[in-house]
A and B are shown apart, each in its own frame.
Chain A
Amino acid sequence: MTSATSTRATPEPGRRIRWADMGPFLALALVIVIGTLINSNFVSGTNIANVVTRSAFIAIIAVGATFVISSGCLDLSVGSMMAFVTGIMILTMNRLEPSMGANAILVGAAVGLVVGAACGLLNGLIVTLGKIEPFIVTLGTMGIFRALITWLSDGGSIPIARELRDPYRPVYFGNLFGVPLPVVITLIVVLAGAFILYRTKYGRRCMAAGSNSDVARFSGVSVAWVRTLAYVIQGLCVAIAAICYIPRLGAATPTTGALWELQVITAVVIGGTLLRGGKARIWGTVAGALILEVIANLMVMSNFVSEYLVAAVQGVIIILAMLAHRFIR
């Protein structure tokens, strides 16, 4: 087709910095500056490493949640799922330890990944095949996973075998060229997540499904498949977090991962991902997880506010973040 009065189109003017996208990182910087002012110990190398390491669990799970949320769904079960997967892994390792020795850790981790993926698949299939609201489905499975770990541990705790403690320890406490291992693992997960979400066809379809599922369907995208896979990715992320978590406390209990789902969703949302789907910000999610942990750390270190109020402050943060979103746009 040709035309007489076509207007000349200019190509896309490179990548522009959008302030709204920078928000989470600016907020993180702000929290760090405040932290430095409040307590000079805050910026000490050990403390920073400590904070970043501790944020690893939420960050890893939140990467998975970014997939689920940007595809237009929600997963409330991640905290319970984390406890359940941790329990299964420890039981497996303990059972295999007598025959396999330290190798039981590897097998246990593999089993954890499979179980995590299976839990995610379960969530995903109920949501997509059963056509039930993700909120309801994962509220249900949240209760199921939590009950299962309570039952497995008989209301107490499932400790890891003494013989495995030492070989397993480095996964949380070790480091690679000075960088704590959980941080290295988080980085790998985040890079992989960013790659999948921004650079692959699956990522494109995932965001299309969240942006407008009708358009996606009419464009030949299998929305059910895309969402199910997002839940599986979420399950895998939970399992990876569990692998890093076990050496830290050495046991699974009925309260492992309690209320983590809220922290995870908070991290994702203050990171700039839209809760209604369609826009995902993986790096923002990481910033969100760091913000939460930094604030908790500051409150423990300083004496102005009781650390019992950590959740309250985090609640305020999420609301402020949403307000900022609204007005910066």
Chain B
Amino acid sequence: MTAPLPKTLTGDPAAPVALRAEGLGKAYGPITVLSDITLDIVAGEVHAIIGENGAGKSTLMKLLSAHVQPSLGHLSMAGQRVDFPDAVAAEEAGVVLVHQEILLAPDLTVAQNLYLGRELGGWLGVDDHRMDARTTEVLASIGAHCGPRDRVSDLPLAQRQLVQIARALLDDRKVVIFDEPTAVLANDEVAALLDVVRGLRDRGVAVLYISHRLDEVEALADRVTVLRDGRMIGTWAGHDLSQRQMAELMVGRELEMLYPPKRPPVTAAPILVVSDLEVDHGAVHAGLTLHPGEVLGIGGMIGSGRTELFEGLMGLRPAHAGRITMAGQDITRRSVRDWMAAGLVYLTEDRKGKGLLLDEPMARNLTLQALDNVHPGFVTKARNEMALLERSVAEYDIRVRSLGLEAGQLSGGNQQKLLLAKVMLVDPQVIIIDEPTRGIDIGNKSQIYDFIDSLVRAGKAVIVVSSELPELVGLSDRVLVMRMGRIVAELHGDRITEQNVVFAATSTEAGDQRETVANQTRQEEP
């Protein structure tokens, strides 16, 4: 360890404990995922829970909010033992969990979702006026940019997340639990959310906060509890721990360099050339080239059309015009299957909605995309699949206690790795990864970066879409920045800095400020 660790906190009898976990444990059948967790959650404090993927953070939060019943131990509030039969009872007692997954009714409006099951109004009618007003208020208080009458299905992921948070904050709460609330948020939205959290704390609410972004934890947390492999390593005062110490406590070893060294400039002919692509509600006049052996970063705010561009490119949403050639072959307007055959894959940012079949076993998820490679004939062979799964689990370090689990039973980070393993199974030449490390812990992040590095060193090409600036800068050989559906800047070498990316992504004159670089013919004037 880099520096001697500060002392752990022990129970302070004077602290106003809002919720206490006493010897909590959870097992699914023979699999123990949490054991012996004793924790004080203090009113008016932000208590961060950190740990590697699969450490049991989400499970612990579900126990505290009674979404899941403990196998051992119990909760207490105000010195009294409490046994919540279900999450509704916990909510009534003032304990609410903001889910990692987005659980909203997509066809209802924002206000309808917020008040779902507890509509205001008389015995027959509903009082839309009052509900809309209160919804607007709550949305504003957390810096959301949507209105009460917007339909949830029309909102981007980040806004949906905020709606989900707003739903939890509608009533007064004693304990609010956030499970990776910022994973899908853009930087300014993150800042707004951190303010929401601080506001709650200042109102005397006890906040539990899970995040893999240790800078947030450092900025926010009054206390930090570290979990490793389902056990509690300890609780520390937030200001006592550096980010590095947190990371090392999480993984239980020293961490190596996060980003692989940059590669030499590429000289090979481009493998992928896209020009003039138009994606409905997404990208305008988009063009890019990609060379074997390079990592092309795509920066921009959330909602700038990055995901739309690549979904359109892959034929996953309506797109027009444009020309797409891969290895010299014109493959415009083809289906995902043809793309896969040509060696191009896209790894979605929405792993739960578009990436994995949550209630299917891991093996089926793993081979879904590569069925034709895995089973050359007409029939499927379960034995081949298990062998493949065993190999992928080892290769991608997917931490599961049983290979028979369904994808939805994996921890968020392990789902991400399963998704990566899944698309890599088709042996692609060009890999487009949208948010490669969303929900991945810090130790595993560097594994993913090394993995991407090894891919491009082996002559493949990778496009990384990322909202995490350090990652974009640390990983990319070249960066394109998008704003409002257009590629507005291209950054090379030393020009790839966080400031330049942010400037291009936000500046309204970015159209004129664009970095013009040799051999660049693609961007059109806005």
Contacts and interface: CB of A to CB of B under 8 A. Distances in A.
Given A11-B386, A212-B357, A204 B368 contact: yes
B153 interface: no
A3 B229 CA distance: 13
B371 interface: yes
Contacts of A4: 251-253
Contacts of B253: 4-5
Given A5-B229, A12-B403, A204 B357 contact: no
A182 B492 CA distance: 72
Contacts of A216: 368
A204 B371 CA distance: 9
Contacts of A6: 397, 399
Given A7-B401, A12-B386, A222 B335 contact: yes
A220 B353 contact: no
A13 interface: yes
Nearest to A224: B335
Given A7-B229, A201-B378, A215-B356, A220 B402 contact: no
Contacts of B361: 12
Interface string A270-309: 0000000011000000000000000000000000000000
A224 to B, nearest CB: 10
Contacts of A5: 52, 228-229, 251-253
Contacts of A12: 361, 386, 402-404
Taking residues whose C-beta sits less than 8 angstroms from the other chain, chain B's interface range is 35 or more
A10 B371 contact: no
Contacts of B447: 1, 3
B115 interface: no
B507 interface: no
Contact of B359 (A1, A8, A214, A278): A278
Contacts of B316: 217-218
A255 interface: no
A215 B357 contact: yes
Q: Which of A4, A201, A216 has the most CB of B within 10 A?
A: A201
A221 B353 CA distance: 15
Interface in B304-360: 316, 335-337, 339-340, 346, 348, 353-360
A288 B355 CA distance: 34
Contacts of B468: none
Interface residues of A, number: 35
A218 B310 CA distance: 12
Contact of A9 (B379, B402, B426): B402
A92 interface: no
B396 interface: yes
Residues of A contacting B: mostly? loop
B372 interface: yes
B198 interface: no
A1 B396 contact: yes
B228 A201 contact: no
B369 interface: yes
A200 B379 contact: yes
B354 A218 contact: yes
A152 to B, nearest CB: 38
Nearest to B404: A12
B252 A7 contact: no
B403 A9 contact: yes
B516 interface: no
Nearest to B357: A211
Contacts of A199: 379-380
B380 A7 contact: no
Interface string A222-255: 1000000000000000000000000000000000
Nearest to A5: B252
A65 B443 CA distance: 48
Q: Which of A4, A212, A218, A221 has the most CB of B within 10 A?
A: A218
Q: Which of A207, A208, A216 has the most CB of B within 10 A?
A: A208
Contact of B54 (A7, A208, A217, A279): A7
Nearest to A7: B399
A203 B402 CA distance: 25
A221 B426 CA distance: 13
A2 interface: yes
B239 interface: no
Nearest to B443: A3
B83 interface: no
B229 to A, nearest CB: 7
A8 B401 CA distance: 6
A13 B395 CA distance: 22
Interface in B389-403: 390, 393, 395-397, 399-403
A214 B354 contact: yes
B436 to A, nearest CB: 13
Nearest to B363: A12
Contact of A219 (B368, B375, B378, B451): B368
B339 to A, nearest CB: 8
Given A214-B354, A220-B340, A9 B380 contact: no
A128 to B, nearest CB: 14
A216 B354 CA distance: 8
A218 B339 CA distance: 11
B244 interface: no
Nearest to A195: B379
A216 B348 CA distance: 12
Contact of A218 (B336, B443, B450): B336
B364 interface: yes
Interface in A85-110: none
A54 interface: no
Nearest to B375: A201
A198 to B, nearest CB: 8
Contacts of B451: 1
B237 to A, nearest CB: 26
A1 B404 contact: no
A105 to B, nearest CB: 31
B397 A2 contact: yes
A255 B395 CA distance: 61
Contacts of B378: 200-202
A204 B353 contact: no
A12 B405 CA distance: 8
B58 to A, nearest CB: 16
A205 interface: yes
A204 B369 CA distance: 11
Contacts of B397: 1-3, 6
A317 B426 CA distance: 46
Nearest to A16: B404
Contact of B368 (A2, A200, A221): A221
A10 B357 contact: no
B401 A201 contact: no
Given A7-B401, A201-B371, A211 B359 contact: yes
Interface in B42-60: 52, 54
Q: Which of A1, A10, A208, A217 has the most CB of B within 10 A?
A: A1
A10 B404 CA distance: 8
9 contacts: A1-B395, A1-B396, A4-B251, A9-B400, A11-B386, A199-B379, A203-B380, A218-B348, A220-B335
Given A1-B396, A201-B379, 16 more contacts: A1-B395, A1-B397, A3-B447, A7-B229, A9-B400, A9-B401, A10-B403, A12-B402, A201-B371, A208-B360, A208-B364, A217-B336, A218-B348, A218-B354, A219-B369, A219-B422
Which 10 A-B pairs have CB atoms at the shortest separation, nearest pair first? A12-B404, A219-B369, A220-B336, A1-B397, A214-B354, A1-B447, A219-B368, A3-B397, A201-B371, A218-B354
